Amino acid sequence: MCNIKTLFSYEEMDSPMGPLTVIATQNGICRIDFGSLEENLPSLQSWMSKHYLKGELIHSPEELKPVVDQLASYFNGNLQQFTIPLDLYGTPFQIKVWEELKGIPYGATCSYKDIAQGIGAPKAVRAVGSANNKNPVPIIIPCHRVVGSNGALVGYGGGLDKKELLLNIELQNFIPKSS
């Protein structure tokens, strides 16, 4: 068995929702957790051991500065699209859903049913909800833009208050592209 160790860079940042912990591999951002590293350490270690043979966390503020800067710009209403490389670990179905989520425009919402239809699996609404819930990089992959079929705010890993805050940030700062 190979003893390859994956190095994970992390940085904590303040946001309008409270602290966020950003985690990256050398290939890109792999997780954003609501809360501090201390709060998230047990679930993070469990996740690392499930998906990687060995992992080591290294505090890397300079390495993750571009990510923190983009997130801060987003929260300030100055960024509508992230250009950060991602390193996602998920099933093929989850990856397909997450790619579809990235296509939801800033300031817009769509339903789980819309996402299911968009990936060519119109009957997989519940599976789409499950994949949405497993999104490892909320905000960057905008799962907060998915609402119930009646437009109601439903299900968000960070809590509905955070989902509402993110949607309000986008609504307050949305400037349609001129045609």
pLDDT digits 0-9 by tens, 74-95: 999 999 999 999 999 899 999 9
User: Is residue 9 over pLDDT 90?
Assistant: yes
pLDDT, mean of residues 107-132: 94
DSSP string, 26-60: TTEEEEEEES-HHHHHHHHHHHHHHH-SEEEEEE-
pLDDT recorded at residue 1: 39
Q: Is residue 143 among the annotated active site residues?
A: yes
CATH number for 5-75 (one of 3.20.20.70, 3.40.50.720, 3.30.160.70, 3.30.930.10): it is 3.30.160.70
pLDDT at 174: 63
Q: What is the pLDDT of residue 149?
A: 82
Reply yes or no on whether the pLDDT at 68 is more than 80. yes
**Beta-carbon count within 10 A of 163 CB:** 22
Q: Which residue has the tokens 């833009």?
A: 145
From the candidates 2, 30, 110, 143, which is the catalytic residue?
A: 143
* Domain range summary for the chain, segments of one domain joined by +: 5-75, 92-173
pLDDT classification of 154: cutoffs 50, 70, 90: confident
> Please, are residues 10 and 62 in contact by the beta-carbon 8 Å criterion?
no
pTM across the whole model: 0.89
For 22-61, how does the pLDDT look when each residue is reduced to its tens digit (9 = 90+)?
Answer: 999 999 999 999 999 999 999 988 888 887 767 788 999 9
Residues facing residue 6 across a β-bridge:
55
Q: What is the pLDDT of residue 146?
A: 93
Q: CATH code for 92-173?
A: 1.10.10.10
Query: Residue 106: pLDDT band by 50, 70, 90 thresholds?
Result: very high
